[in-house]
Amino acid sequence: MKVGFIGLGVMGGPMAANILKGGHSLTVFDLNPASVATLTAAGAKAAASPRDVGAASDIVVTMLPLPSHVEQVYLGPNGVAEGMARGGLVIDMSTIDPQTSKRVGKALRERGIAMVDSPVGKTSEHAVTGTLTLMVGGEPADIARAKPVLDCMGNQTFLCGGLGAGHAMKMTNNLLATTIMCANTEALAIGVKEGLTLELMVEVMKTTMAWNQQLAVAMPKKAFIGDDSPGFMVKLAAKDVRLAVDAAKALGFQALVGEGALATLDRAASLGYAERDTAALMKIREDELGIRVRPQAQPKAA
């Protein structure tokens, strides 16, 4: 298939590369020339605009930071809709709110272009290996058309409902994952300040309801070794939680836990960590309390 890809960041770049590896022709666009160069070196064609991507493609995939970017890329001047032929299909894999997805999908449908939303779960490592979790929303026939491309990027697919349902699932997932991360850093920092070791806390928590995947998988790879190099950046985590908090307000209630996580993330951004990994939350707690939450060095055997 002739596939287009717009948004070649930490996640989008390797996802696009896996579409190439899947045997599809690929046309790409990104505001970062270096990201485009990486894909063209692997065999993709570069486009000058989203419109040109649409004109060259049967299916266009987007992986963009904000809802406004999605609207602009698809419906704005020189956007995908201006170039794509009727009968085309787009797959938005960004993390945005369901309402924007439905609004963009309706406008595209009026131009004869179908839309599927398929935000992703897991990490940039899984983007490289093509083993992402895919949360898909859309009409069954459109999802079936998208499947050969989606299968290049993920190995677990969940059909969530109509258009926008994938984004609803991702918003819900990221609200919970991020609030758990914030709670972990807070609890562990307090424990260490009170004289406990990370090893003891982890050993105990494995036996209680406190245990979670952030403690088991994500934090040992990043936060517990002091690595806040960009993966899931603080500013993107804040954007995701804000989407969920705003959705809660629209539904008529206050997401108090989500608001607490958002305040934590906004504070991290104000301290200069907006473009660092959320592992930076652990570092901030450590600095505030004058401690280090790290595995204790094991003595070498005699």
> Is the confidence at residue 57, as pLDDT, over 90?
yes
Residues with catalytic annotation? 170
Give the architecture (CATH level 2) of 2-162: 3-Layer(aba) Sandwich (3.40)
User: In CATH, what number does 168-289 get?
Assistant: 1.10.1040.10
Do 259 and 301 form a contact (C-beta atoms < 8 A)?
no
Which one-letter amino acid corresponds to residue 258? G
pLDDT average, residue stretch 229-256: 95
> For the purposes of burial, counting CB atoms within 10 Å of the CB of 244, is it exposed (0-12), middle (13-18) or buried (19 or more)?
buried
pTM reported for the whole predicted model: 0.91
pLDDT average, residue stretch 32-61: 98
* Distances 78 to 51, 52, 72, 280 between C-alpha atoms, Å: 5, 8, 9, 38
pLDDT average, residue stretch 40-46: 98
Confidence band of 294 (pLDDT split at 50, 70, 90): confident
> Is the confidence at residue 9, as pLDDT, over 80?
yes
Q: How far apart are CA 153 and CA 134, in angstroms?
A: 8
* Distances 7 to 49, 198, 203, 237 between C-alpha atoms, Å: 12, 38, 41, 18
Residues of each domain in the chain carrying CATH 1.10.1040.10: 168-289
Confidence band of 302 (pLDDT split at 50, 70, 90): very low
Residues of each domain in the chain carrying CATH 3.40.50.720: 2-162
The pLDDT mean for the chain works out to 96
pLDDT of residue 297: 53
Task: Quote helix, strand, coil % in the chain, to nearest 5.
Answer: 55, 15, 30
Residue 11 tokens, joined: 């996640």
Do 21 and 152 form a contact (C-beta atoms < 8 A)?
yes
pLDDT average, residue stretch 9-13: 95
